[in-house]
Each structure stands twice: as structure tokens, then as C-alpha cells.
Amino acid sequence: MFNTRVKIKALLAQEPQNQEVTVMGWVRTFRNNQFIALNDGSTGNNLQVVAELGKFDEELLKRITTGASLKVKGTVVPSLGKGQKMDLVAQSIEVLGDSDAEKFPLQPKKHSLEFLREIAHLRFRTNTFSAVFRVRHTLAFAVHKFFHEKGFVYLHTPIITASDAEGAGEMFRVTTLPFDNPPRNEDGSINFKEDFFGRSTNLTVSGQLEGELGAMAFSDIYTFGPTFRAENSNTTRHLAEFWMIEPEMAFYDLEDNMNLAEEFIKYIIKYAIDNNKEDLEFLAQRLTEEEKQLPQDKRSEMGLMEKLDFVLNNNFERITYTEAIEILINSPAYKKKKFQYDVKWGIDMQSEHERYLVEKHFKKPVIVTNYPKDIKAFYMRQNEDGKTVAAMDILAPGIGEIVGGSQREERLEKLEERMAQMHIPASELWWYLDTRRFGSVPHAGFGLGFERMVQFVTGMGNIRDVIAFPRTPKSAEF
Ligand code: 4AD
Ligand code: MG
């Protein structure tokens, strides 16, 4: 039986008073043939196990190498050394799994994040990644806690769908048809009637449309699941498979939507600070070290903890898209032609523009509202001006867009009209349109990109380092 072991996090919280315990974990380092730094992933802190000289077999000691797994029984005593409050003086050591020191890719030294990405199957065993993924867990838990406390229903929307919720055509097809010789119609096109679902299907890009159906019965729902986008964006902010949280609320307008999004973001950040302080402090330290490599003007003005506190204690700036464009056009950056892409009303802001607004101009998260309808999805509520829609994007320092949302078009004719203009086939979305036929109500919702949120909280610069096994163009290892 293994379950009598104590986890290192729980043990380190105790006072050392000669208690006899069993621990299990992986060797991080083994110094002077005597001191084992043991880690079991419950905390970033290692337990110092002392193998007293002369007490253990040479053959056994040779097998205590970085990466090996051990079961250790011993006595907990106050540590004589600096840096830890307790030692576990080993009575017995059992090697559960050997790790050939010559072959184990993780050496007890600093590895680059790029290298660790190539061995993502082992990178959880590093300080940085174990901290990131504990924080990710806490944030995920906080998401559920926040919505549960507010009485939202967690709705599991489908992964395989026949619709394109965003209308952007960035979908991965799901099919069982043979590639070499698919059944064809008379005109040569592929006959999807013969496919598994009797129609063409794809992985979902968003659970929103189904989420809206739920909101029309439960009032408030949220989804939290994987979404897939076949966009060929090789950036530090894009994944082909990412997790999204999408709340959808009946009887909400754009302002209610903004208020909820801001409260939500602050809640989960606070929850992580309250519950993962050590990991966050470690990551803050890591970021400061990393930024020392950069020229002074490229370094963050605030440390990670400071930044998170700042976000908690300040209101997000709220501006319209039109105001944002004016700020950009009047900016020194624009006048000095520092932007690569031109700025004028109607553009889809590039990340350089978003970053200017957030990092240079306001220096805090910004909610931009009322975007031009032509750069936003078909379901957004049309404003009276005929040009804009009740959209909202939240832009975060260092990340750019972290949330996209809107009040939805609840008026059937307006929605049908917009779908026709944008060539969205109404016949395929008959079920979506039904919500506007039977008891339609003003409603709104948003999507938070979970990995971008984890990046924001952990300070990790590349989105591939906050999801366990990233899927990006030309990369689907592990
Ligand atoms: O702005 P998006 O495309 O909005 C929607 O999907 C809406 N259906 C949401 C809603 O209103 N219910 O995506 C929402 C968020 C973005 O703000 C971004 O944080 C994240 O999802 N996101 C991505 N994250 C990682 N990789 C990608 N390729 C992403 N695309 C969007
Ligand atoms: Mg968006």
C-alpha cells in the first residue's frame, strides 16, 4: 500500500518533531552522497532527505540520480543546514524507478524554455513548469468557483459541430471519409451525406451558440472547454487548441457584460494570489531574472506581483473603438511613424496598436467597446448608428486581447438581415434563430482565452509554455 505516504507540501507545513513518515517523489539533486533534494510536485519546495554517511549501501547510493523515483522512510528533525526548516533523516530508501543520469535529459541546471518545449513530457519536473501548472490548476478551479457561487450552470457544449460559430472559416474538419477516394456528387464535390454524421462536421471554434441556447432557459450559463482554430498564426499568443471560458447571460446588456468580465478576471487573479503565493513569487523572480537580459527600456515597469496587485486595485479603462482610434492617431508613435500598420477608423487593430493603448497610454487593462460591425461576428447586436456593434474586447498589458464578447442581436429580423449580408447560411442555424422566435431576450456573453489568462498571471511570455502539450502549426508532438 502506497497511501500512507505524506505529501511534501503537507509535511513542510508541519513542525519537525521526530515524527516518522514515508515520502515518495523524484530526485532533483543528490549532493555529497548525502543530501537528496526530493520533490513530489505538491509544492515547488523540495524536501531535504539526509542519507547519513556509511548507513546505506554504495550500490543503492549510486542509483540515487536526478530523475529517479524514491520511497523514503525516516524521521523528521529540525535542519542543521540553512535554507530549510526540516530534514528527513532516512531510515530506509527504496528506488522505485531508476533514471540513467547519462540519458536523462533534465540535468540539474538551467535549461532554456525552448529546449524544455522539446521535452514537454518531462518539463513538469522543473521548478518553472511545476509552478505554472499548479497556478493553471488553481485558476481553473477559481473559474468554476466564481460561476458556481453566482448560480451559473456549467454547460458542456459539443466539441464536434456542424456550424462555424465565429463565421471565420478557421475550422478543423472531422471526417471518416477516405482521403484517397472520397464519395463524390455528380458535380465532383465531396458527398458528405456518406460521412459519419451524414454531413460536413468540424471541431468547435466556440461553444457560444449552444451557450446562448442554455442561457435562454437557465438565465446564466458558462462553458469551459477546449476550442480549436485552424488559423495559421505562429505567435506567442495563438494555439490551434486552446481552452475557453464562455459565460452567457440572459437579461444582460453590454455594460452588465463588462462588469461581470472585470469582476471575474479580478476574482480568479485574487484566488491565485491567495492560494498559490509561493509559486507566483517564484515565477515573479524568474521573470525578473529573464528580463535582466533585456535592455532597460524593454523591461516591465512592474514586477509580476506588483502588476497583479495593480490590476486588482484599479478599474479597467473603458473606451469606445472610435476613441481608441483617435488616441492612436494622436499618439507620438503614430506621428513618428512607429506603427508598422496604418491606423484609420475601420481597421482591425493590430497587436502593436492594442499594446500601445494598454502599455503606453493607459498602463492598465482596457475594455474597448462598439467596434465597426464589419470586423466583428454576425451575432453581435447592431447599434443605432448603423456602423458599429455592441462588442467588447478586453486588452491586457503584455498580452493584448484576452477577452472577446458582446451583447447579442436578439431581434430576429436584424439577425437574419446581418446573416444574409455575411453569407451565413440561416438554414443551418435554424435552431439558433429559434431562440429569437420563442421568448427572445436581451443577452450578452464573452469568451476568456484561458491560456492567455494563465500567461498574464504567470508572466510566461509564450503561450506554448502555459498549456501542457501545445498544438500549433506543424507541431502536435506528445
Ligand atoms: O474573440 P474570440 O474569437 O471570441 C469568441 O470566440 C466568442 N464566441 C466569445 C464569446 O463571446 N462567447 O475568442 C475569445 C478569446 C480571445 O479573446 C482570446 O483570449 C482567446 O479566446 N483566443 C485564443 N487563445 C489562444 N489561441 C487562439 N488561437 C485564440 N483565439 C482566441
Ligand atoms: Mg476576438
Last residue of a domain, one of 78, 107, 136: 107
pLDDT, tens digit, for every residue of 283-305?
A: 999 999 999 999 988 888 899 99
**Gap from CA of 375 to ligand 2 centroid (Å):** 10
The answer to whether residues 245 and 342 belong to one domain is yes
| 213, 452, 475, best to mutate for ligand 1 pocket (most atoms within 8 Å of CB) | 452
CATH code of residue 213: 3.30.930.10
The answer to whether residues 82 and 165 belong to one domain is no
351 falls within a domain: yes
The answer to whether residues 64 and 142 belong to one domain is no
Is residue 215 lining ligand 1, measured as CB closer than 6 Å?
no
Domain containing 97: what range? 8-107
> Residue 108 pLDDT more than 90?
no
pLDDT, tens digit, for every residue of 23-55?
A: 999 999 999 999 999 999 999 999 999 999 999
The answer to whether residues 275 and 403 belong to one domain is yes
The answer to whether residues 137 and 97 belong to one domain is no
Local structure of 210: helix, strand or coil: helix
CATH code of residue 30: 2.40.50.140
Please report the beta strands in 32-152, taking only residues with DSSP state E, as ranges in sequence order.
35-39, 47-50, 69-78, 86-97
113 falls within a domain: no
**Gap from CA of 404 to ligand 2 centroid (Å):** 4
Ligand 1, atom 29: nearest CA belongs to which residue? Answer: 238
Ligand 1, atom 9: nearest CA belongs to which residue? Answer: 447
Last residue of a domain, one of 107, 133, 159: 107
The CA-atom distances, in angstroms, between 253 and each of 26, 293, 384, 441, 447 are 52, 46, 15, 10, 15
Greater confidence (134 vs 233) lies with 134
Ligand 1, atom 15: nearest CA belongs to which residue? Answer: 449
| Mean pLDDT along residues 130-143 | 98
The answer to whether residues 29 and 97 belong to one domain is yes
pLDDT, tens digit, for every residue of 380-418?
A: 999 999 999 999 999 999 999 999 999 999 999 999 999
The answer to whether residues 143 and 218 belong to one domain is yes
Tally of CB atoms within 10 A around 66: 18
50 falls within a domain: yes
Cell of 461: 511570455
The answer to whether residues 74 and 211 belong to one domain is no
Give the whole-angstrom CA distance, residue 222 versus residue 147.
Answer: 7
Domain count for the chain: 2
The answer to whether residues 155 and 53 belong to one domain is no
> Residue 1 pLDDT more than 80?
no
Residue 20 makes CB contacts below 8 A (sequence gap 6+) with 73, 74, 75, 76, 91
Give the whole-angstrom CA distance, residue 3 versus residue 471.
Answer: 35
The answer to whether residues 37 and 132 belong to one domain is no
Last residue of a domain, one of 107, 137, 161: 107
Is residue 397 lining ligand 1, measured as CB closer than 6 Å?
no
